Amino acid sequence: MAVNRSDGNEGFITTKVDALFNWSLKNSLWPMPLGISCCAIEMMAFAGPRFDVARFGAEVFRFSPRQSDLLIVAGTVTYKMAKVVRKIYDQMPDPKWVISMGVCVSSGGMYRSYSVVQGIDQFVPVDVYVAGCPPRPESLLKALMVIQEKIKSGGKAIADPEHQKVLME
């Protein structure tokens, strides 16, 4: 939300409002956990009492894509499941961010076989890749913090349609 003035700079009031929006957005990211296999267990631990994700404002694990803005894909994505992942991604409203958790989602992982998609970024734009098999919950917290940094510094989500148009050109 910015007003473009004639000299290209944004006004004082709009930057402050932007900063306020970004602050509230980054401190209340509601994740949509797409837990498919082993990484889902680490994601549950990440939401559990020890590696508490509630202190980041993200404990509202809505299982409905219509009510969330951060998609965490956790677990091996097969060709049969790819359609479902894309459908869930499409159902989420903008602005949305995607974390691909684990090596299986980022690049196929240890499964070089006929039924595993070698990397989810072939059909879903990804913001943060988390390596590990499975990644420790602390790595996932770091990924969440990276997305928070990105929002704070005003970077657009990769999933933003405007940004996608820029990337495609």
The residues of the shown chain that bind another protein, judged by CB under 8 A, are: 34-38, 40-42, 44-45, 48-50, 63, 75-76, 78-84, 86, 88, 110-117, 122-125, 133-134, 136
Helix (H/G/I), strand (E/B), else coil: 135: coil
Q: Name the minimum Å distance from CB 113 to another protein.
A: 3
What's 48's DSSP letter?
S
Q: Name the minimum Å distance from CB 2 to another protein.
A: 28
- Nearest CB to another protein, comparing residues 92 and 151: 92
- In the chain, the amino acid numbered 150 is K
Q: Name the minimum Å distance from CB 103 to another protein.
A: 12
Q: Name the minimum Å distance from CB 163 to another protein.
A: 13
CA distance 118 to 120: 7
Q: In b/e form, how buried is each residue of 124-154, taking b as 16+ CB within 10 angstroms?
A: bbbbbbbeeebbebebbbebbeebbebbeee
- Nearest CB to another protein, comparing residues 76 and 106: 76
